[in-house]
Structures are given as structure tokens and as C-alpha cells.
Amino acid sequence: MPSRHFVKYTFLKIDPAWRRLAADVREAGKREFAAACADFSDGHLLRAFSTVGTRGDADLMLLSQAQNLDRIHEFHVVLGQSGLMKWATIPHSFLAMTKASEYSDESRLEVRPAHAKYLFVYPFVKTRAWYGLDPKERYRIMQEHIKLGREYPDIDLNTSYSFGLDDQEFVVAFETDDPGSFLDLVQRLRTTESSLYTARDTPTFTCISTSVQRALSALDGEVLAAEAA
């Protein structure tokens, strides 16, 4: 039987003062950060995203996944020892776990991002009235929601569950190469019956898929400026 996985979305914000440090000090901190990521990614899913230019309260997001929660804990302990993290805060952090869906046989016990250009992430909470509905009624309502989503085959959805693990109930992550298509999907989802039972679906993060190295380079533009030259 396939194993369920823990999923962690970690958003980092870098102190602007870090950019005024000497280039060699910044590079050393980034190397230590990248080394921690490389160690974890040997046997586990790890993806990096830049939020520079898309959010004011975060610069970088790491998506990590493991069957063992202790491994995610250890990864963040090691990450915290890097020179870069001494200048970083974590303004947003979402912990979740995969499980089979009540409403669709397309659910996943692993987050399997399709490596599209953009990932849209947000925490999600249903109203308590939703859980008071008859299970058959909830199923009926969700079929409309799912049917609408299938009209956008270029958008891939990964849903994970946070009940008792974190403040939200779900973390949803939509992946696509076309932000406009995602905007249209979300606008249409607002018209569905299931939307009446949404208590919270913010903050929303527009994340640009990249390598760990390029996400780090985007923090100060050092390597990217050299490539442009």
C-alpha cells in the first residue's frame, strides 16, 4: 500500500541589510543553504521557487516532502545553521499531509508537481456548516467543483491536508505555465456552490519555479547580473 507523505511549504524573507554584506559573505551563506537543500533532496522531493517580484512579504519558497516528519524537522534544523538563514525570517509556513480524497479518485499520496513554470499556493479553510452537511450532499457539491476544474487540463492540482497539524485545513497548490488560465479558473470557481462554504483561502502566493541556485541568485541579483553581462 502506498505511503502517505508530509508536505512542507516554507516561505523565506531576507533582511534587506543582507544585501549590503560583502559579496563573498553572501556567497558563503548561499552555498551553505544550497548544501542543506542538496542533502535533503537526495532521496526526498525538494523544489525551489522565487517569489521576488510577486510578493512583498516573501522572497523564496521551498517545497519539501518526506514520509517521515522527523526528516523534514532535521532538514530545517540544518537549513537554519546556514549563514543565509541568520538574515532570514519565515513569514509563512504550511505543514500538511497527503491522503485519499473523499470526492475524487484522482487524489495523490504524494505531491507530484508537473514542473510547470508557476505554482500558486494558498491555505484553505471550510466553514463549520460544510461539515454539518450530509456526506452525500457534500459529494454532490464537490462534483460540480471538480467538473469545472477538469475544463482546465493545463492546470495541475496538488491538495494536502492539515487537520490538527497546522492552522489551515488544506494546502492547495495549482501548477501551470499560464497564469491567465489559473486566474480564469479561480474566478469561475467563485460562482460554484462549494464557494459558499469557504471560510478562508488567503494568503495566495504566486511562485516562480526555478533551481535552488537561481532562487538564491535572485535574492541579490549577483549571478544573474553577471550572466546578463
Are 157 and 174 within 8 A, CB to CB?
yes
Give the pLDDT score at 53. 96
Give the pLDDT score at 202. 97
Q: For the chain, first and last CA: distance in Å?
A: 52
Average model confidence (pLDDT) across the chain: 92
Helix axes 69-80, 23-41, angle to 10 degrees: 170
Give the pLDDT score at 229. 45
Q: Is the pLDDT of residue 1 over 60?
A: no
Count the neighbouring beta carbons within 10 Å of the beta carbon of residue 25.
11
Q: Is the pLDDT of residue 77 over 60?
A: yes
Percentage above 70 pLDDT, the chain: 92
Q: pLDDT-derived band of residue 108, with 50, 70 and 90 as boundaries?
A: low
Are 18 and 89 within 8 A, CB to CB?
no
- Delimit the domains of the chain by residue range: 6-96+208-228, 117-156+164-205
Q: pLDDT-derived band of residue 200, with 50, 70 and 90 as boundaries?
A: very high
What distance in Å separates the CA atoms of residue 133 and residue 63, rounded to the nearest whole number? 33
Tens-digit pLDDT profile for residues 114-162: 579 999 999 999 999 999 999 999 999 999 999 999 999 999 999 999 9
Q: Is the pLDDT of residue 107 over 60?
A: no
Residues 6+ apart with CB under 8 A from 117: 176, 177, 208, 209
Architecture of domain 6-96+208-228: 2-Layer Sandwich (3.30)
Question: Looking at residues 27-38, what average pLDDT do you find?
Answer: 98
Confirm whether 6-96+208-228 and 117-156+164-205 share one CATH topology. Answer: yes
H/E element, 31: helix 23-41
Pick the CATH number of 117-156+164-205 from 3.30.70.260, 3.40.50.720, 3.30.70.1030, 3.60.130.10: 3.30.70.1030
Give the pLDDT score at 179. 97
What distance in Å separates the CA atoms of residue 225 and residue 229, rounded to the nearest whole number? 6
Q: Is pLDDT larger for residue 58 or for residue 227?
A: 58
User: Considering the entire predicted model, what is its pTM?
Assistant: 0.92
Q: pLDDT-derived band of residue 101, with 50, 70 and 90 as boundaries?
A: confident
Q: Which of 38, 43, 47 is nearest to 158 (CA)?
A: 47
Q: pLDDT-derived band of residue 109, with 50, 70 and 90 as boundaries?
A: low
